[in-house]
């Protein structure tokens, strides 16, 4: 059977991953990872350190090459081993926004320029339009008054909110977040989580690697637990958290709660 979103006639599926696998040399990080995400859904990915969560996200936007399986991602088909043209890669990166643990802002640009620069480069927006979009997004993340500041003058949580605004400015179809709050103090982390909640409410499709169990439970629609070289279990967050099916998942939850 072909793993195509079309063949299922489920046009709501924006991301469909089938039997994805990734190894580094002879070390298998994960294999046989399959996942379907609907438009507007928030999918949280949790699991112990080293489970391959970051590697999985990086495979989705091809920062890493998966070596098994295939995926449909916002209408694009990607298969392991397939040669991907530059245009397809640009298209994919436009469709998929990414927010990292370590903000990755341009240090020598102002907050505003950090957002405006990619808008002009990637979307060829005019100076006026890109500024307007950037200022609107900065207001949304509560930082309009810091537009002229340098990233180094902001707290970690503020920098992360700028990074989210920057990603949103490019109007991605899917946003990937890799532990966006784990480098932050809990209090500023909350501001970032609130912004992410707003983004989720706006209808954005999100894949979020996180240690924030409350976010996964309250904001997440779907939960994926990674471990032991693949997906341990996936499904309704509440169900998995109240009655995990696998011993390995139970062990992980106990470790997280004790932390």
**In the complex, which residues of this chain contact ligand ATP (CB under 6 A)?**
24, 29, 47, 49-55
158 is a site residue for Mg ion (CB under 5 A): no
- Report the partner that residue 206 touches, choosing among Mg ion, ligand ATP, none (CB closer than 5 to 8 A by kind): none
Shortest distance, CB of residue 49 to Mg ion, whole angstroms?
Answer: 7
- For residues 144 and 162, the answer to whether their CB atoms sit within 8 Å is no
Instruction: List the one residue from 44, 54, 159, 205 that touches Mg ion (CB under 5 A).
Output: 54
Shortest distance, CB of residue 206 to ligand ATP, whole angstroms?
Answer: 17
44 is a site residue for Mg ion (CB under 5 A): no
Shortest distance, CB of residue 69 to ligand ATP, whole angstroms?
Answer: 16
DSSP 150: -
Shortest distance, CB of residue 210 to ligand ATP, whole angstroms?
Answer: 10
DSSP 167: H
Between CA 125 and CA 162 the distance in angstroms is: 19
- Report the partner that residue 29 touches, choosing among Mg ion, ligand ATP, none (CB closer than 5 to 8 A by kind): ligand ATP
Of 16, 38, 165, 186, which Cα lies nearest the Cα of 105?
165
- Report the partner that residue 223 touches, choosing among ligand ATP, Mg ion, none (CB closer than 5 to 8 A by kind): none
The DSSP line for 51-93 is SSHHHHHHHHTTSS--SEEEEEETTEEEETT----HHHHHHHH
Between CA 168 and CA 162 the distance in angstroms is: 10
Give the footprint of Mg ion on this chain (CB under 5 A). Answer: 54
């Amino acid at each position: 059977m072909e793993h195509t979103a079309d063949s299922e006639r489920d046009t709501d599926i924006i991301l469909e991953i089938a039997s994805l696998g990734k190894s580094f040399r002879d070390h298998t990080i994960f294999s046989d990872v399959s996942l379907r995400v609907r438009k507007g859904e928030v999918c949280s990915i949790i699991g112990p350190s080293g489970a391959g969560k970051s590697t999985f996200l990086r495979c989705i936007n091809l920062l890493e090459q998966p070596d098994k399986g295939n995926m449909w991602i916002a209408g694009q088909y990607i298969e392991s081993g397939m040669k991907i043209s530059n245009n397809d890669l640009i298209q994919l990166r436009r469709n998929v926004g990414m927010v990292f643990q370590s903000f990755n802002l341009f240090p020598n640009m102002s907050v505003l320029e950090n957002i405006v620069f990619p808008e002009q480069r990637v979307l060829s927006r005019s100076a006026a339009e890109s500024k307007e979009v950037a200022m609107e997004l900065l207001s949304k993340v509560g930082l309009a008054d810091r537009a002229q500041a340098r990233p180094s003058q902001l707290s970690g949580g503020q920098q992360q909110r700028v990074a989210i605004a920057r990603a949103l400015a490019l109007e991605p179809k899917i946003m990937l977040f890799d532990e966006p709050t784990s480098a932050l103090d809990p209090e500023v982390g909350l501001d970032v989580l609130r912004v992410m909640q707003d983004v989720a409410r706006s209808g954005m499709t999100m894949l979020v690697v996180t240690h924030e169990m409350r976010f996964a439970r309250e904001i997440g629609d779907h939960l994926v637990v990674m471990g032991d070289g693949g997906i341990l279990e996936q499904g309704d967050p509440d169900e998995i958290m109240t009655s995990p099916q696998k011993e390995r998942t139970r062990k992980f939850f106990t470790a997280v709660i004790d932390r």
